Amino acid sequence: MLSGKGGVGRSTLTVSLGAVLAERNGVVLADANVAAPHLHLFTGVVQEEVVESLAAKAVVDYDLCDHCMKCLEVCRFSAIIGGEEPIIFNCFCTGCGACSLVCPVDAITVQSVVNGRLNILDTGWCRVVAGDLDIGESGSGRLVGAVRKRARLEAEKRGAGFILIDGPPGTGSPAIASMKGADYVILVTEPTPPALHDLQRIVDVVARYAIPAGIVLNRCGMPEAGTRQMPAGLRARNHDLLAEIPLDPLLPAALAEGRPAAEAFRAAPASRAIRRLARTMENRLL
Ligand code: SF4
Ligand code: SF4
């Protein structure tokens, strides 16, 4: 599930769609929005396991350092700042090791440090694998890869028919990493010009990887909607409009209860649209 723009209801839709699909197929939810994971907030969860995520980072032994600053000169990622002694900013350090190679006194080593974690959670109706990158840390693409891998393992263990990955907003490397190996990309948007503009950008990214994709138009009928006209580029790519989900006041109520809307208010218009979307995805992918 990708959207380009954040705030269009991608995560709430992921949870609701997951709850409907879980009724017949078994589902694993994966939160690949590792910089701000919040899938678990939309449904009650119990923590089952935490797996630390490690990244390679340069570490200076200041007892050995003679302050020559050769390491600063060679770092192409601006991860080292000078002064009286070199200071390494972990958030910019990629662990490339160039600084340790040029250090004349072997004062720098590249070590594995914790920069995030995988949370394995259980909702009662499905497993959730959520990546959680420490604030300001780099390496989101790698952690997203770990989320995907663990979600696949959980799905195999439980015989789940679907893995639903809630991708991050934007079109950068975390979004690309989240759709790697996917059978299908659901693109979520709402009928406003900014959302449709960003949808066009993520559509162009998905097209580069030749993954089948369809669009869900969320919050149809919202008062501030400027247009529900799809941009010309989207029409040209011939993407399916999978579902139009109406703006429904019961969705925030379900959110407040911490329950998937399609489960909490089964007869609500939005819930019925999400159930039709689930049938569509079953027909396409199973
Ligand atoms: S290259 Fe080595 S000795 Fe020179 S400033 Fe960096 S850590 Fe210190
Ligand atoms: S390991 Fe690479 S990125 Fe990190 S401080 Fe050293 S040269 Fe810079």
Q: Which residues, other chains included, contact 13 with Cβ-Cβ below 8 Å and sequence gap of 6+?
A: 1, 188, 216, 218, 245, 274
Confidence band (pLDDT; 50, 70, 90) for 262?
A: confident
CA 77–ligand 2 middle distance (angstroms): 7
Distance 78 CA to ligand 2 centre (A): 8
Q: Is 97 in the pocket of ligand 2 (CB under 6 A)?
A: yes
Chain mean pLDDT for the chain: 91
Q: Write the pLDDT tens digit of every residue in 37-93.
A: 999 888 888 999 999 999 999 999 999 999 999 999 999 999 999 888 999 998 899
CA 178, distance to chain mean position in Å, is 6
pLDDT of the residue at 41: 87
**CATH code for 54-114?**
3.30.70.20
Instruction: Indicate if ligand 2 lies below 6 Å from the C-beta of 59.
Output: no
Residues 150-204 pLDDT 10s? 999 999 999 999 999 999 999 999 999 999 999 999 999 998 889 988 998 999 9
Q: Does the CB atom of residue 17 touch ligand 1 within 6 A? A: no
State if residue 55 touches ligand 2 by the CB under 6 angstroms criterion.
no
CATH 3.40.50.300 holds for 10-43+123-285: yes
Model pLDDT, residue 231: 52
Domain positions in the chain: 10-43+123-285, 54-114
Q: Compute the distance between CA of residue 69 and CA of residue 85 in angstroms, rounded to an integer.
A: 8
Is any ligand 1 atom within 6 A of the Cβ of residue 34? no
For ligand 1, whether the C-beta of 220 sits within 6 Å is no
Backbone angles phi, psi at 145, to 5 degrees: -60, -40
User: Ligand 1 center to residue 74 CA distance, Å?
Assistant: 11
Cβ of residue 86 lying under 6 Å from some atom of ligand 1: yes
Q: Is 113 in the pocket of ligand 2 (CB under 6 A)?
A: no
Q: What is the C-alpha to C-alpha distance for residues 29 and 107, in angstroms, rounded to an integer? A: 44
Q: Tell me, what's the pLDDT at 238?
A: 61
Nearest CA to ligand 2 atom 4: 93
- β partners of residue 28: 127, 163
pLDDT at residue 68 in the model: 96
% pLDDT > 90, the chain: 73
What distance in Å separates the CA atoms of residue 261 and residue 272, rounded to the nearest whole number? 10
Q: Ligand nearest 103 Cα, by number?
A: 1
The reply to whether ligand 2 has any atom less than 6 angstroms from the CB of 75 is yes
CA of residue 87 to ligand 2 center, whole Å: 11
Best of 105, 109, 110, 111 for a ligand 1 pocket test (most atoms within 8 Å of beta carbon): 105
Is the pTM of the predicted complex or chain greater than 0.85?
yes
Does 223 score more than 80 pLDDT? no
